[in-house]
């Protein structure tokens, strides 16, 4: 899977177009079930709205599940343009619901396309981002004399120490993005002349903040 940007947290903005209110809510969703639950929650919150247009992308790149709907707006004027903006953002695992309260003035098909596109663009412009990263969690058992050097090697190679256990030996459990794990393994081999080994005990995903995001 590698790594890709996702929303760091749920975010909302509101814009007005002519007399209509458009409220865009974006959130991270790590599965289709989470996406559907988020959409249902927003639709319940704004049950009195004219429309709640939902779009989402679960996954990223070639392995993405995409969804859009118009929720009663003329076909192709709401969900499709909203999804196009979402795809262009580069984000994965993301859902947006654009809630519309009709203000009495029809916007026409072009006006609707522009309004829904703008609502998604504006909420994405203020959205804090995180990254979903493929990770290895590894265990290293070592004599005490290696402890400080191994600890430093974890952080120097992009990992984070999850736990330390002190007994006859020291055991460190650390997590690394998959793409940097081999560099840590090399550092471990070099410092110990091949005596120490990092044993992968789990492979999965982690959510990590993006610096400045």
- CA neighbor of 89 nearest in space, from 126, 132, 124: 124
32-83 confidence digits (pLDDT tens): 999 999 999 999 999 999 999 999 999 988 789 999 999 999 999 999 999 9
113-134 confidence digits (pLDDT tens): 999 999 999 999 999 999 998 8
For the domain covering 131-209, report its CATH number: 3.30.70.240
CATH superfamily of 3-127: Impact, N-terminal domain (3.30.230.30)
pTM (2 d.p.): 0.78
Domain ranges within the chain, ordered by starting residue: 3-127, 131-209
Integer CA distances (angstroms), 99 to 13, 40, 52, 123, 158, in order: 11, 12, 4, 12, 41
Segment (H or E) for 10: none
Which residues are 16's β-sheet partners?
21
């Amino acid at each position: 899977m590698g790594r890709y940007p996702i929303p760091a947290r749920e975010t909302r903005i509101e814009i007005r177009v002519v007399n209509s209110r458009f409220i865009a809510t974006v959130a991270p969703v790590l599965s289709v079930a989470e996406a559907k639950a988020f959409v249902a929650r927003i639709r319940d919150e704004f049950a009195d709205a004219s429309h709640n247009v939902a779009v989402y992308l679960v996954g990223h790149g070639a392995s993405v599940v995409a969804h859009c709907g118009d929720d009663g707006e003329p076909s192709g004027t709401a969900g499709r343009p909203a999804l196009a903006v979402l795809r262009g953002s580069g984000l994965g695992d993301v859902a947006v619901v654009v809630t519309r309260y009709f203000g009495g003035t029809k916007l026409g098909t072009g006006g609707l396309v522009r309004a829904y596109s703008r609502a998604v663009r504006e909420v994405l412009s203020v959205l804090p981002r995180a990254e979903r990263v493929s990770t290895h969690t590894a265990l290293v058992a070592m004599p005490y004399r290696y402890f400080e050097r191994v600890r430093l090697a974890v952080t120097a190679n992009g990992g984070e120490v999850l736990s330390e256990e002190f007994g006859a030996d020291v055991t460190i459990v650390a997590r690394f993005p998959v793409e940097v794990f081999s560099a840590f393994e090399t550092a471990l081999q070099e410092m110990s002349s091949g005596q120490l080994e990092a044993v992968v005990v789990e492979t999965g995903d982690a959510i990590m903040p993006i610096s400045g995001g």
